[in-house]
Amino acid sequence: MSLRHALLALISAEPMTGYTAAKHFEASVGFTWYAPSSQLYPELRRLEADGLLTANELQRGTNAKKREYQLTAAGEAELRRWISELDAPQRERDVTRLRAGYFDMASASAIRDQLRAHAEHYRQELVGWEAMIEHIESRATRLIARRLASRPAPEHDEIVAWKVYAYRGLVARARMEIEWAEDGLELLERLRPADRDDLPSTGPLIDGVATEQSA
Amino acid sequence: MSLRHALLALISAEPMTGYTAAKHFEASVGFTWYAPSSQLYPELRRLEADGLLTANELQRGTNAKKREYQLTAAGEAELRRWISELDAPQRERDVTRLRAGYFDMASASAIRDQLRAHAEHYRQELVGWEAMIEHIESRATRLIARRLASRPAPEHDEIVAWKVYAYRGLVARARMEIEWAEDGLELLERLRPADRDDLPSTGPLIDGVATEQSA
DNA sequence: ACAGCCATGTAAGTCGTTACATGATTGC
DNA sequence: GCAATCATGTAACGACTTACATGGCTGT
């Protein structure tokens, strides 16, 4: 049940429509809690029905409307309650490590592809997360600015500090995953020294057929 | 859809009943993919219906039966296919970090409780995971022994190596989480130096009422 | 005889995924 | 006029959670 709290947290910065919430979601809470926009709209309705948000119907052009949501007092209370809540640790659900435990049944190239993709994925994420840290520290994004504006100045440093702390956690995880994948690639070299199907990446090559015929 | 593959992987070591599968699940694949036994029984039936497992009805005492499942050829093929499969990276779903981004709205004690519980949880897991590594390396557990027995000797080192590698990944994650939580506790000290509600743990104390009345 | 283990589930509900569906508005 | 973006969803399905339900077997 964290989706609703992610939304409450997001909207606590400023009122939003479902559409803008979806945009901002991707670029903030979405880093720690993924959700597609198709999940957001119904959840916003539910939050409204539960009295945690109120909606403001705004005219848009001549024939269209949009609903702008904002936190109610109950919504803010629920958000604060949830933030302070101590809940059960997350369940382990780690496909990559589950699979890695059985890599003896895979070809060297399949293992290599997976570990490289794993490392590459986290390298990308790392870039994004590190960029986020800088944006937050410089208080440059509109949303952070809006959030800070709604809170007394002495709190600003702390608000920023906790957000940076959360992102540093993601960065730490990314680095760990990259290292782990690289260790795996090394292990692969050690276990299957003969099986080097690496290709020098110097232009397009036709391959995959030759091996079957040369054997 | 990893539950079925976790089960196939588990049962590839030796034939099992639902009950023994559940026991072994907790102590092996369950470390990377949690599932309660109530989820296992129906899934085993489905795997059987899909031809990936076959069941053997065995007599048990005089009035009871049990079903022992084992991999079919199709089951082994599916397991191998899945192990080699490259799939989309996992979705981020990290409640702790989501919450941490909003710790400015929580009391020092709530933050402290959460970070301590987080560190403590991973300290416990760490112990279990490190113990698993030793058990696997010494090839002491019955299940590992059985698995190795069914495979040619030259493969044994590699089978062990990948399992150890998978668990090392868990260990790395645990260490990272512990460090992150400890960094958070330090940050808390820095941000709220006045707010030390730490209590010397020398017996039960009545508290929590005074604050409301003294205010 | 009784406890603790072995053994197998069901049922109801929530949460999340994927794909699809629709239409207005704004800026060029 | 057209494309990109703004805006709001539905529908069907599959995965996971939590609690409950039942009964035989084995060793003391």
Mean pLDDT of A32-52: 97
Confidence bin at A1 (pLDDT 50/70/90): confident
What is the distance in angstroms between the Cα of B65 and the nearest Cα belonging to chain A? 32
Q: What's the pLDDT score for residue A197?
A: 61
The pLDDT value recorded for residue B195 is: 74
| DSSP conformational letter for B129 | H
Span B160-176, pLDDT tens digits: 999 999 999 999 999 99
Q: What is the pLDDT of residues A95-134, one digit of tens each?
A: 999 999 999 999 999 999 999 999 999 999 999 999 999 9
Quick one: pLDDT at residue A4? 97
pLDDT band at A92 (very low <50, low <70, confident <90, very high): very high
Average pLDDT over residues A83-89: 94
- Residues above pLDDT 90, as percent of chain A: 88
Percent of chain B surpassing pLDDT 70: 91
pTM to 2 decimal places: 0.90
pLDDT at B203: 42
**CA B114 / C1′ D21 distance in Å:** 36
List, as one string, the DSSP characters of A152-200: -GGGHHHHHHHHHHHHHHHHHHHHHHHHHHHHHHHHHHHH-TT------
Identify the sign of the CA torsion B158, A91, B100, B93. Answer: positive
Residue B198 reports pLDDT greater than 70 = no
Q: Which residues of chain B have a CB within 8 Å of the CB of A170?
A: 92, 94, 97
Whether A211 has a pLDDT exceeding 90, the answer reads: no
- Which are the contacts of A140, defined by CB distance < 8 A and separation ≥ 6? none
Amino acid at A194: A
> Which pLDDT score is estimated for A202?
47
Q: How far is CA B125 from CA B3, B39, B65, B95, B176, in A?
A: 21, 23, 36, 18, 12
Compare all CA atoms of chain A with the CA of B78 and give the residue at the minimum distance: A105
Question: Using a CB-CB distance cutoff of 8 angstroms, which residues of chain B are in contact with residue A2?
Answer: 93, 95, 98
For residue B84, what pLDDT band results from cuts at 50, 70 and 90?
very high
The mean pLDDT of A4-24, rounded to a whole number, is: 98
pLDDT for position B197: 61
**Rounded CA gap, B113 and A87, in Å?**
10
pLDDT digits (tens, 9 = 90+) for B96-126: 999 999 999 999 999 999 999 999 999 999 9
Distance B38 CA to D22 C1' (A): 14
Q: What's the confidence (pLDDT) of residue B128? A: 95
Q: Does A117 touch chain B if contact means CB atoms closer than 8 Å?
A: yes
- Residue of chain A nearest B180, judged by CA positions: A169
Using CB atoms, which residue from B92, B161, B168 is nearest to A34? B92
